[in-house]
Amino acid sequence: MTSTYRYLPDTAQDQKEMLALLNVSSVDDLFSDVPESIRLDGELMIPEALPEPLLWRQMQKMAGQNVNANELPMFLGAGTYDHYIPSVVNHMISRSEFYTAYTPYQPEISQGELQAIFEFQTMVCELTGMDVANSSMYDGFTALAEAASLAVAHTKRQKVVVSRAVHPESRAILNTVAAGPDYAVEEAALSADVTDLDALKQQIDSETAAVIVQYPNFFGSIEDLKEIDVIAKEHGALLVVSSNPLSLGLLQPPGKLGADIVVGDMQPLGIPMAFGGPHCGYFAVTKKLMRKVPGRIVGQTTDDKGNRGFVLTLQAREQHIRRDKATSNICSNQALNALASAVCMTALGKTGLREMAQLNLEKADYAASVFKKKGFNVFNKSPFFNEFVVELPCTTANVEGKLIEKGFIGGFDLGVDYGEPAQMLVAVTEQRTRNEIDQFIEALEAITHDKLQ
């Protein structure tokens, strides 16, 4: 046995015995039902296999080439953010009883997991101002698409209207999901950095199942949810709001402004960026929509002795109920990441969460004011949270590499999704110091000045 494996591979004798049991002479015989014309003819064009220690060393070397927020101040957001995570979060989610837990089907042995999920649901409801929340979803992007499908099924209408200020990846996934049940997705135009309400009024009709907006939106600006709700309700459409949960430490909860469904991504609260995932989506609704929520809902009850207990109260997926009655094919939840968010929110407390949100607001406002003093135009006309758009005298693509050289991770290039190559979406979280903000803007000023020479 060689030391290059950490597992025990099949020996030649093992393979011989398995083939004999199957009454075939070779491994190739196992694929006899596959036509030869579509079988691989020759070797794959990939490198030769390496012993595990060498492969591990090579992968570490490749990973070391990445530039990350532990090394450089980061001003990139656009859906994944560099936020403070209390140290207790990692200690809790690393405990084996949570780290290895699967779906808590048996309540008699799953009370810890069930209670953790119940606490997560409760805190999501408090943040969003909604009646009911499920036990998490994969991420905020898929949660938004599920919300649209719920609205279509509930209203029995075949069109949803989504603002162009909603995250581009959310809109892309929404269009993919909509192809299944075959409902139409129309995009609502913008007026500068927010949804154009006059155009929205003309776009909604009796076939509109839902109006979907983001709060704060992709550009960081605050949409007028109250007015949008009035517009939606005039035609009997539901209001779906995708919201950054951290911002709700300051902003009026969407549920208080008329939202029927509130979704979002819990990454800002206790989940590391990890180069883009995994995340954890939340999904909250009014009581009338409770039985149509995808996934599962944990409820609190009492046993026959009067002791408090927790159970999976509602399960709306096809694995648990008749396929034709299922509201979604979501097959799991992000329980571990939901736990991380719940622990984070508990550690911060109501005061800490609000203070953290306030820092995001104030530091972004400070950065925008410095940009303006330096002669840059800030695109946002509406109040914004921790992101805003800066207009550059050259393309964003031309400055990102130079910013790395000067020791900064720059913002998001809006040329990719909005056709504005000279606009950069800048995120400023509580992690950024005043000195980092000042130096970042000075570096960007110097780079753009050189580009114009």
pTM: 0.89
H-assigned helices in 204-324: 225-234
Q: Do residues 330 and 296 lie in contact, with contact meaning Cβ atoms separated by under 8 Å?
A: no
Q: Do residues 403 and 237 lie in contact, with contact meaning Cβ atoms separated by under 8 Å?
A: no
Give the Cα separation of 172 and 169 in Å (integer): 5
Band (pLDDT 50/70/90 cuts) for residue 9 is confident
Q: Do residues 188 and 199 lie in contact, with contact meaning Cβ atoms separated by under 8 Å?
A: yes
Q: Indicate the SS3 state at residue 239.
A: strand
What's the pLDDT tens digit per position in 45-61?
998 888 888 999 999 99
pLDDT of 446: 95
What's the pLDDT tens digit per position in 288-342?
999 899 888 999 999 889 999 999 888 766 566 666 676 776 767 789 999 999 9
Q: Do residues 292 and 276 lie in contact, with contact meaning Cβ atoms separated by under 8 Å?
A: no
**317 phi and psi, to 5 degrees?**
-95, 165
Give the Cα separation of 329 and 335 in Å (integer): 17
CA 210 distance to own-chain centroid: 21
pLDDT of 319: 61
Q: Where in the chain is the domain with CATH 3.90.1150.10?
A: 350-452
Q: Indicate the SS3 state at residue 194.
A: strand
Closest CA to 393 of 415, 411, 375, 380: 375
What's the pLDDT tens digit per position in 172-230?
999 999 999 999 999 999 999 999 999 999 999 999 999 999 999 999 999 999 999 99
Q: Do residues 395 and 421 lie in contact, with contact meaning Cβ atoms separated by under 8 Å?
A: yes
pLDDT of 415: 96
**384 phi and psi, to 5 degrees?**
-130, 165
Report the chain's C-alpha Rg in angstroms: 25
Q: Do residues 284 and 263 lie in contact, with contact meaning Cβ atoms separated by under 8 Å?
A: yes
Residue 441 reports pLDDT greater than 50:
yes
Burial class (CB in 10 A: 0-12, 13-18, 19+), 53: exposed
Amino acid at 87: S
In the chain, the percentage of residues whose pLDDT exceeds 70 is 95
H-assigned helices in 24-135: 52-63, 87-93, 96-99, 111-128
The token pair at 183 is: 């409902």
Q: Where in the chain is the domain with CATH 3.40.640.10?
A: 87-344
pLDDT of 320: 63
Q: Indicate the SS3 state at residue 5.
A: coil
Q: Which residues pair with 263 in a beta bridge?
A: 242, 283
* Secondary structure letter of residue 250 according to DSSP: T
* CATH number at 87-344: 3.40.640.10
The token pair at 35 is: 């036509």
The chain-wide mean pLDDT, for the chain, equals 93
**325 phi and psi, to 5 degrees?**
-100, -10
pLDDT of 295: 85
pLDDT of 356: 98
Q: Do residues 22 and 30 lie in contact, with contact meaning Cβ atoms separated by under 8 Å?
A: yes
Q: Tell the residue number behind the tokens 């109501």, with chain if given.
A: 350
> Which contiguous run of DSSP H or E holds residue 16?
helix 12-22
CA 335 distance to own-chain centroid: 14
pLDDT of 451: 62
Residue 43 reports pLDDT greater than 90:
no
Quickly count: other Cβ atoms within 10 Å of residue 95's Cβ.
Answer: 12
Q: What is the largest CA-CA distance in the chain?
A: 80
Band (pLDDT 50/70/90 cuts) for residue 1 is very low
Domain formed by 350-452, architecture: Alpha-Beta Complex (3.90)
Closest CA to 119 of 289, 281, 343, 352: 343
